[in-house]
Structures are given as structure tokens and as C-alpha cells.
Amino acid sequence: MSRNIRAFALAGLLALPSACSSSSSSSTSQGTIITDTLGLKFDLSCTGGLCVLTAQNPAITPLSCGSGSGSDVFVLAFDPLLAIYALHVPSSGEVELNAADPSHPVACATDAECLAPGVTLGMVTHSYTCQSGLCLLKESCYGGACTPWDGLLLTYDVLTLCQADLPWPTSCPSITSQPYADRIAAVADACGAHPTCATVPATCRQLSGGAPASVDGGLPASGVDSGP
């Protein structure tokens, strides 16, 4: 695929509608510890429908590369792949995901590390299960009726899988740093501007086994990007 077509696909990918927003109440208990795929641990706190995480390592800070008034925070996103995002939360408090936001999957060894038996946002309860070391949606329940996950990933989930082994960024724009720039281009080729995607690029974390087909070098011990 030519560079021009790839750039067009990437532009469409970054224009995808938000995967989730938060303005409702939640029932997740305080004091829960979440671990990302770098082995970094985060303390979870849910208030007013927004589940915020604080890294136990003070060197790990959120950097969304967003703009405007507000602050950057780590937020838990309840999509088919349970994930941690570094988001810019504006002063208005309305939270929306952007395809350029840094993210990592939540890692697990048991269902208990995936917020089992489930978490309720508004009127919907999401239940996750641990598969191949990642937390994947099991079912969503509303009004007593439960719908199993259809197995289809959001394109946001694929982007998150492609960051699973990469450090949290410390400089902007993070999407131009390597190897993520190449991986996001691969996602654009595989998924285009579609909201869902059935293909995970070979260089990214796979749902079935763990490590990508090829690894782009080691990670800093702290899990923090040293910059482009």
C-alpha cells in the first residue's frame, strides 16, 4: 500500500468516533489494584462513572498529548478489551476516547484480576474473563438480560494491543515515536476507518498467545518511554 493511501487511512482511523464516554454512576469498589501488560500496578478509584487509576510507581504519569483546560489522567475503559488509557479530561468533565490516546491492556492471571464478577456503569453490568493473560469481555447485562460478547474487537482494542509492550510515553506527539508509528500505520492498513476490526497486525500483541510475532527491542525497566 502506498504512503499516500496509508496516510489517508490513518487520518480516517484517527477520526473514529469515541469508543466510550462516561457520565453515569458505577459500582466498582475502591482499593482494587489493576496491572497493565508492562507489569505496572495501578490503584483503581471509581467516582461518578469515571474509573481513574493512579500508578503505584510515581515515575509513571499519564500523558495524553491533549490540549485545552483540564488534566491528564489514567482511565479504565470498559470495551471488549479491558484497557487503561491516558486521557485528557477537560474542565467540563466529559470524557471521550481518541484513537491517538496512549493505552495498554489490563493483564491478568485469573478472572479476579478482571474485576470479577463484574462492574456496573449506569444500568449495564460488564463482566470480564481472563484469556491468554488479557481481560476480555464475557457478557453485558441490562435489566436482567445478558448478551455474550460476539468476539469482535473495536479498532480501539487493536490499537491498544499494538501498544501492549511499549512504554507509557513521556513526550508528544506519542504516535510519531517508533515503533508505534509503524504499528498504527499497520492498524490503519488492516482496519481502515471501521469502528470494529477482525485483524491484529502480526507485530502486535495477539489475543491467542501473548507476544507479537516480532519484538521491536527491549523496554526500559520503569516502563516509561525515554522519548523519540
Work out the average pLDDT over 119-146.
Answer: 89
For residue 217, being part of any structural domain is answered with no
Query: Is the pLDDT assigned to residue 129 strictly greater than 60?
Result: yes
For residue 123, being part of any structural domain is answered with yes
For residue 223, being part of any structural domain is answered with no
Query: How do residues 133-154 score in pLDDT, each as one tens digit?
Result: 999 999 999 988 999 999 999 9
Query: How do residues 55-109 score in pLDDT, each as one tens digit?
Result: 999 999 999 988 878 889 999 998 899 999 999 888 776 777 777 899 999 999 9
The per-residue pLDDT of the chain, averaged, comes to 80
State the residue range of the domain holding 75.
3-197
Supply the pLDDT for residue 104. Answer: 97
Query: Is the pLDDT assigned to residue 6 strictly greater than 60?
Result: no
For residue 26, being part of any structural domain is answered with yes
Cell 482494587 sits on residue: 32
For residue 22, being part of any structural domain is answered with yes
For residue 213, being part of any structural domain is answered with no
Confidence of residue 175 (pLDDT cuts 50, 70, 90): confident
Highest mean pLDDT among 65-69, 120-124, 182-186: 182-186
pTM of the shown model: 0.82
For residue 45, being part of any structural domain is answered with yes
Find the Cα–Cα–Cα–Cα dihedral 117, 113, 35, 138, rounded to 10°. -60
Count: domains in the chain? 1
